[in-house]
A and B are shown apart, each in its own frame.
Chain A
Amino acid sequence: MSSLAANSIILYLLVAVALVMLGLYGLLVLKDPIRRLIAINIMGSGTFLTMIAFARRQDPPDPILHALVVTGLVVAISATAFALRLILAARESREAAASGSTEAEDE
């Protein structure tokens, strides 16, 4: 495996910082729960990218960081699934509370 130039690694680290900032910005500014969830996931990708870019400093990349990120990916999707279910449940309980006044609210 050819080793990656130091400049590329710095580039990826900067992009990782940019992704975290972008996700944080979206999280603070957006109102739609699904978009907020996407923002959190983008922040997560930024974190993973930092770890993998650091792992690439050695020539065979550091397997410990790779293993941590594989674990992180699975945890991220289970958290996303749980958060989506929470969003739906919150939405439904709000609907149930307001069902007396407005019945047909779906799209």
Chain B
Amino acid sequence: MENIDKKLREEAKRLLEEKKVGVLVGYETGTLPLTATPCFITNPEDAEKLVWNAFCTQNLAKFVHDLISQHRESQKRVKPEDRKKKIVGVVARGCTTRSIVLHLQERQYGRDEVVIIGVPCTGYVDGKRLSVLAGGDDIREGSLEGDQLLVKTTAGEKRIPLQDALAGNCLTCRFNNPVLSDLMIGAQAPPMKPEQEYTEIEAFENLPTAERWAYFTKEMNKCIRCYACRQACPSCYCNTCFVEQSQPQWVGLGEDATDTQVFQLMRLFHMVGRCVDCGSCVSVCPMGVDLRKFLKKIDKDVFELFENRAGSSLEDTPPLSIFKEHDKEDFIFNP
């Protein structure tokens, strides 16, 4: 990992010095132990801050979209001939590159507006899982030694195998190497266990209807409608989200349980063919709602019905904007 950090900093510095990118989005060491946080670098000297490790959680494609769309908005007030492009560099793992591919497919920005520094990924640490493994106490200090996490809490020291603390989506990840990149740093990462990606979903599908509904309502009752999932999601980039629209008002804003369920249901359904399973929504959720149980089902359905994996190839068309003559239609009601 040391080596990757060094190369990453060198490349980032070079890109900034040569003005190949205006701003670089990456990760820096977080303020809390065993965390990393997104950072924006414009000064080549600051490239020294960059890190790439198992604590880099958030999908940075969100910031790429935000930066470019804000820049474009600001350019509206500039004379057409004086308009400038903003080129954003990004440190991207597999799922981040999938999100960028998705943005490109959806014509959100041009390929020339983003420079992708691909990094191999062996999964990131799920903060909530780690805090449970650490015994629920605050983590005072921590370090990664080989494949063991050394965690110091108020109760004492603990060694936790890194593998146990990885996020659920990382363990069964199919695309842990970038699908699209301008330059690659480090060797290809070994594959995870993609053959098990739907095991959990298949088990849930086989439960009786009442139990599935009970689980859905139980999970959605935890939701406090903070919209952190939406803010973190790279696929959620609408200027005005349906929850904030008042004419028409799609969903109520009160504390009614049904409104919350409808909000979640609609957001989940907007992810058809668009969820890259980066786990950003799950990791930012303050209430620990099991969103992945439902998002992964959508991913499974889209693959089964339309043979598409969101953002896996630049040549694909978004599955909901095309159709094929022989799409399944066994669900159509015909009395």
A and B together in one complex: no
Q: Which of B's residues lie within 8 Å of A, judged by CB?
A: none
Q: Which of A's residues lie within 8 Å of B, judged by CB?
A: none
